[in-house]
Amino acid sequence: MPTKKPKSIYRSLFSEAWTITRSRPWLWVFGIFAAFMTTGGLFELGFRSFKRIATGRHFLEQLLQGTLPGYDFVVEYIHLFSQLEPWRQSILLGFFTLGIVAFVGAAVFSQQILLQEAKEKTPVSWRELWHHERAPFWRLLTLNILSKGLVGFLLFLSTLPLVLISFQTTGQTIFFSFSVLLLFFLSILGIGILHILTAINTVHHHTHLFHALHASIQQVKKHWMALLELGLLLFLVSFVWTIATCFLLAAAGMGVIILLLMAVVLNSPTFYFIIVIGSVLILTVLGLLSGGFLTTFHYAIWVQFHEHLLHEPLVSKLQRVWSKK
């Protein structure tokens, strides 16, 4: 019996993922929370860190200040927090801890929902999703902790060599900086691929985390070129989607400015206040939904790709082009 010829499935893959994402808008809400558990934004964090280190200023301060979102706010908050009475500090700390735990729990639960729902051809009822096995939640939580810790460690290792060359700028140092940044990007991409494959294996096959990790490593060894190709494609999709979203929000912001000018001309403080509050809420919701849509689309693609990976041989587009020469 002839063996099945490997094929490239990117067109059908993107079509299936688009259909799932578009037809189930309620998943976008889960995508908003799941987006905060992804590692994509750490590339930007590392890139901005490298730029700040190159100025030759204090390493730790410049690594944090202006690089981590909300760093200045957190410093000011800690300063104000230290001036409160002990009982007020305990109450605020308790609420803050509960908020962090609830947010992380919602993010991990959202990941599990997206991975389960993206596999189904038809939408699953809320009752079925809620009563689904709870074990994957704790495995996903452990997986996220391990991946975040590894990414943070790589970021630390990647920035340390740049401290040694921060006081001189030559062709060699520029090449070295670019090489470190490229290596960091590829490492983050590899961790992201291994992370999503392990998450899919542990949720769909109900396996132990380390068994799922072992299966994912074997899949990466066998299909590393197709996985890397898909990871780069999704990175480009994310980049283009983010740019398009920023342009659309900027265009909407211009409309808001026109309305504010009208409120000033009409001398109506109430109208002005309503426009400010309403526009902030609407633009924030639109931005979050855009991120939720993109995250849901990513999860749907990876789940569909994993299904193809299990049932039929695959080959990357580059391999197909190269084999035709």
Task: Express each pLDDT in 103-115 by its tens digit.
Answer: 888 889 889 889 8
CB 50 within 8 A of CB 181: yes
> Where residue 297 falls among pLDDT bands split at 50, 70, 90?
very high
CA proximity to 293, closest of 231, 238, 228: 238
> Where residue 293 falls among pLDDT bands split at 50, 70, 90?
very high
Helices and strands, number each (H, E), in the chain: 12, 0
Average pLDDT over residues 249-256: 87
pLDDT digits (tens, 9 = 90+) for 8-23: 577 888 888 899 899 8
On the question of pLDDT at 41 being above 60, the answer is no
On the question of pLDDT at 183 being above 90, the answer is no
The lowest-confidence range among 167-176, 210-219, 237-246, 285-294 is 167-176
Predicted pLDDT at 84: 73
Q: What percent of the chain has pLDDT over 90?
A: 6
Compute the chain's Rg from CA coordinates: 23
Q: Give this prediction's pTM.
A: 0.76
